[in-house]
Structure 1
Amino acid sequence: MDNQSHQNSATENEMDHIEVIIGRILQIGVVVAAIIMLFGLILLLVHDGNGGYPVGHQPTTISAIAAGTVALKPYAVMMVGMFCLILTPVLRVVVSIYAFYKEHDTLYVWITTTVLIILCISFIIGHTV
């Protein structure tokens, strides 16, 4: 076996491993988000439908969500679950950047990095508007 085919085989094995990691990230992210959301729902039922905030108000800032989660307020806990669910595909984009880098696919590294930047900008705009 020559050196070039050995390198191709090693790269192919590493790409297979990265694809497994991406799949696991998606699976774990969805399961963790579902568990957190279920915990928040249980808290909501225990508190007789009171989310821990006045009617019509929910935590909207990261600090309010963190404080509410520490205080075990149902709406805040469910917001953390939603955040985990939203974060899952973002982590997939980050791992994809690494995978394309390892494949020496510069074009897709730049494209995927641009997608990540757009996602981050949309989070910032969505939070401030």
Structure 2
Amino acid sequence: MKKQPTKAQEMHEVEMIIGHILRIGVVVSAVVITLGLLMLLIQGNGGYANGAQPTGFAAIFSGLLQFKPYAVIMLGLFLLILTPTLRVAVSIYAFAVERDRLYVWITTVVLIILVVASIIGYLGK
């Protein structure tokens, strides 16, 4: 008969998942940024006019389809910014597993603040 994991074992697993998310997010973003820098060195330019770079999701996606180095670098930076936000979202789950309602609410408020600030920053360009 299989034993049920204890709450401490479950929390350890969740903490390990959070650690993996942070590591994977940083490594993936570093690889994407490095790829963009290599493309920049090979192509000799960023793919945009002087002083211009993609700042919106549509511009980044369009630039990616055209293999523009600055768009690849911006994607890497976006992934790097997204990593801690994803960590906060996973933390909500971790606190829910612990049945710690106070921290679920606090972490949810933090996630909402992060998302709203990102949207305001995006719209404020």
Query: Given the alignment, which residue of 66, 74, 77 partners 2:69?
Result: 74
| Equivalent in 13, 18, 25 of residue 17 of structure 1 | 13
1: CA distance, partners of 2:110 / 2:65: 33
- Correspondence 1:120 to 2:115: yes
Q: Percent identity?
A: 57
Paired AA for residue 97 in structure 1: I
Instruction: Find the counterpart in structure 2 of residue 27 from structure 1.
Output: 23
Q: TM-score, normalised by structure 2?
A: 0.94
Write out the 4+ residue segments of structure 1 that deviate beyond 3 Å after TM superposition: none
Structure 2 residue 41 is matched with structure 1 residue 41: no
**In structure 2, distance between residues paired with 1:39 and 1:55:** 21
Length-normalised TM-score, structure 1: 0.92
Letter in 2 for 1:107: L
Counterpart secondary structure, 1:104: coil
2:98 equivalent to 1:99: no
Question: Gapped runs of 5+ residues in structure 1?
Answer: 1-5
Shift of 1:10: 1.2
- Distance in 1, matches of 2:22 and 2:61, equals 24
Query: What's the secondary structure of 1:51's corresponding residue?
Result: coil
Query: Bigger shift: 110-119 or 63-72?
Result: 63-72
Distance 2:77 2:14 in 1: 26
Larger Rg: 1
Aligned length: 122
- Whole-Å separation in 1 of the counterparts to 2:16 and 2:111: 21
Note the aligned Cα RMSD (angstroms): 1.2
What residue ranges of structure 2 are gaps of 5+ in the alignment?
none
DSSP-derived class of the 1:32 partner: helix
